[in-house]
């Protein structure tokens, strides 16, 4: 995984081709705001790597629509006055489309606890009422690495998650290999099986008090 500083440099490079002159200052300020935040950087990287309309534009504001277990549903407002919905976690960002196209997949609606896509549209229809997405800060109650909230599961692969078998760091101990009877984890089926085993063993949720004092994302 790239460090946050490397990711930020990549975004700066992409922005050189993507941002209209008149929007450059505001776009650069937003990059500074999210410059040490993995969620914000993943979002900006995705936007500038594949401009939604394929023509020059910039991210002017990011608003939080919903958040659960380190997965963020974010509304992007652009310098050209367009809007897009993104799903973002510490692994990356995925564009869902315009707010009108909305969040339609049942799996995602259920995950965030929305009754239907109209419930999402009611929120995105009044963006000024949504809070601005704030970057992670040390006094936040979220997991410093995957941004799960107190009592929520980490994003699988988060280095802060504690192993229920040995109480070590789940991404560093060998328990997952022992439990799966393998010496490498390459297939998706193995990840699914690991998740089942973790849940049987009693997967350990994020607790602020267990949180290490380091950002944990520069691995």
For residues 184 and 174, give the distance between their C-alpha atoms in angstroms, rounded to a whole number. 10
Work out the end-to-end distance of the chain between its first and last CA atoms, rounded to an integer number of angstroms: 7
Which of 7, 176 has the CB closer to Zn ion?
176
Which of 78, 89 has the CB closer to Zn ion?
89
By CB under 5 A, name the one of 18, 75, 130, 158 that touches Zn ion.
Answer: 158
Which of 117, 169 has the CB closer to Zn ion?
169
- Among all chains, which residue has been given the structure tokens 């010496």? 183
Q: How far is CA 211 from CA 150, 195, 216, in A?
A: 10, 22, 10
Interface map 131-150 toward Zn ion (x if CB under 5 A): ------------x-xx-x--
Which of 100, 201 has the CB closer to Zn ion?
201
Q: Which stretch binds Zn ion (CB under 5 A): 4-12, 156-164, 179-187, 194-202?
A: 156-164
For residues 89 and 116, give the distance between their C-alpha atoms in angstroms, rounded to a whole number. 22
For residues 1 and 204, give the distance between their C-alpha atoms in angstroms, rounded to a whole number. 24
Establish if 165 lies at the interface with Zn ion (CB under 5 A). yes
Strand positions, DSSP E, the chain: 59-68, 71-78, 83-89, 92-97
Interface contacts to Zn ion, rule CB under 5 A = 143, 145-146, 148, 154, 158, 160, 163, 165-166, 168, 173, 175
């Amino acid at each position: 995984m790239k460090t946050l500083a490397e990711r930020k440099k990549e975004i700066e490079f992409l922005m050189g081709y993507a941002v209209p002159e008149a929007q450059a200052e505001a776009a650069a300020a937003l990059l500074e705001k999210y410059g040490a935040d993995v969620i914000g950087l993943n979002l900006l990287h995705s936007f500038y790597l594949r401009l939604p309309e394929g023509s020059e534009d910039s991210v002017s504001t990011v608003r939080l629509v919903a958040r659960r277990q380190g997965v963020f549903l974010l509304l992007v407002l652009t310098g050209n006055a367009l809007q897009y919905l993104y799903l973002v976690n510490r692994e990356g960002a995925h564009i869902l489309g315009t707010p009108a196209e909305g969040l339609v997949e049942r799996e995602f609606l259920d995950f965030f606890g929305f009754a239907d896509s109209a419930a999402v549209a009611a929120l995105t229809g009044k963006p000024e009422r949504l809070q601005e997405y704030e970057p992670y800060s040390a006094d936040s109650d979220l997991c410093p690495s995957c941004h799960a909230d107190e009592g929520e599961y980490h994003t699988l692969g988060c280095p802060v998650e504690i192993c229920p078998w040995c109480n070590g760091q789940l991404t560093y101990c060998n328990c997952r290999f022992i439990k799966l009877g393998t010496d490498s984890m390459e297939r998706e089926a193995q990840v699914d099986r690991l998740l089942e085993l973790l849940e049987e063993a009693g997967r350990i949720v994020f607790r602020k008090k267990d949180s290490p004092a380091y950002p944990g994302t520069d691995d």
